[in-house]
Amino acid sequence: MDHAGVAPLMVAVVVVASLSASVAAPVAVDTVNVDPDHPLYVLERLGERIRGANPTDLMMERWTEYKRLVDRGKGLKYKHILDDFVHEMRKVAPGDVEPKMKIVQWMQEQMPGIGLVQLKLCEDVLSKCKEALADVPEVSKMLENEIKALEELEKTSITPEIIENVRSRLTLIREWIDEVRKGYAKRLPAVVSKYFDIDNVFVNVTANIEAEINMERVPTFNFEEELEEFEELLAEVNAMLEGAPAEVPGKRAAERLVAKAVELRDRAVEAYRENVGRKAFGLLQAGEMHLRNAKLILEKANEWEWKSEVRGTWVQWKEKWADLKEELKEGELWEDIKKHWEQYAESVKQLWEEKWYEVLEGTENLASVQEVSENVTLEEILANRSAYVHKRVTVQGRIEKETTIFGRTLYYLVSGGNRILLSGQELSPYVDKEVTVSGEVEISVGYGVGISIEVTAVVEVTH
């Protein structure tokens, strides 16, 4: 509470001074609404209990308090206030029609505000990461760029129409922050980990709010038709994920959203079987929200990814997906995929691989894997990539390392001005040494469309 709130508080305390001190002081503090970071906040909560505040009012009060804390840069520290908000929201009795309608209306009004709070929390954690890693220029610069982008987004009107775009962007940023945390865990403050706990709360809160809003919005619906639409979108996103570049934040973020969507779908089906139709519809719509966010991330990943080594990969992946989607939609396979994804996933994966082979050499079919070692040069492999994909090779060169912005180390074999990405074994003992490596040539889509060698054996030649 600011200084302007001190005078009303003192007046209130004086006015009730003639009453029992054990009751008067908490009620007085509760009257002027001090915030959780105020020394007298404990009296605020006690006063609420004394006057018998209902769950609806308490839910709204906790959210208002938490928003003010976030505005002052204290949202990460006071996660327990957000937890209290969720607790009070769950206590509202479903049978109380009037309070329920009031809450649903209030929730609809809060959705833009929730998006803004999430933006500010993300800015806060990015700033703390940047401060902790100020001596790592390549990381701090990227964090600074993302902070500026969020600040610009914050200035725009967070309308319901762009909430999904904001939510998807923040989900992707979460994956970036997790990458930073993995590489520099010991150097980051504890509140960075707390951010992930808070984000998980928001994932559940937004899903629950969407479910509540949708339950009130649609008086009648056909669950089977709604489920069919959900399954079609799920099949599409799953098919996209089969070919999406591996080991990049965009794909991981989308996979996390899909997992949440499937969980909500299963809960919806269970509710429908128990004849709780409106709940079933609300849960299914909330799950569909996560699927739309996942699809949006995959479609916009090349615009949002600031890792230069994967931007080109995302662009080419999107072009290949556009072609593959047309093929799937035109054929009989698509209807089967919607109904039996697990059974047909391998078929989709195979189609994706064929698309990537076309990227490499314009060929649709490659020879099967040959388990025969071949002594070749890097120049020969790179000059005729399709001839070596899925074949075992033995090749000489010098191992060099290249560290990404997240502390991950990539190893390359270099010879005669040519170089190829290596994977598989731990290669740090061989850095800057001339070696002979044996392994299988693979398609590499994680760090740019190309190929890599999955190393199975290393023989050191010279220093």
Q: CATH number, domain at 412?
A: 2.40.50.140
Separation between Cα atoms, residue 63 and residue 103, nearest integer Å: 13
Residue 268 has pLDDT above 60, yes or no: yes
Let me know if residue 279 belongs to a domain: no
- Domain limits for position 426: 378-462
340 or 233, higher pLDDT: 233
pLDDT band at 265 (very low <50, low <70, confident <90, very high): very high
Against a cut of 0.85, is the pTM above it? no
Number of domains in the chain: 1
pLDDT band at 102 (very low <50, low <70, confident <90, very high): confident
pLDDT band at 65 (very low <50, low <70, confident <90, very high): very high
Mean pLDDT across the stretch 98-117? 75
Lowest mean pLDDT across 156-165, 230-239, 349-358: 156-165
Give percent of the chain with pLDDT exceeding 70: 77
Let me know if residue 299 belongs to a domain: no
For residue 225, how many C-alpha atoms fall within 13 Å in the half-sphere facing its CB? Answer: 3
Let me know if residue 400 belongs to a domain: yes
Let me know if residue 13 belongs to a domain: no
Let me know if residue 406 belongs to a domain: yes
Let me know if residue 404 belongs to a domain: yes
- Encode pLDDT of 119-131 as tens digits: 899 999 999 999 9
pLDDT band at 70 (very low <50, low <70, confident <90, very high): very high
Let me know if residue 421 belongs to a domain: yes
Give percent of the chain with pLDDT exceeding 90: 18
Residue 19 has pLDDT above 50, yes or no: no
Let me know if residue 133 belongs to a domain: no
Lowest mean pLDDT across 40-49, 238-247, 271-280, 332-341: 332-341
> What pLDDT, on the 0 to 100 scale, is given for residue 310?
65
| Residue length of the chain | 463
Separation between Cα atoms, residue 239 and residue 108, nearest integer Å: 33
Residues 6+ positions from 408 with CB-CB distance below 8 Å: 183
The first and second tokens of residue 45, run together, are: 């909560």
Separation between Cα atoms, residue 239 and residue 349, nearest integer Å: 8
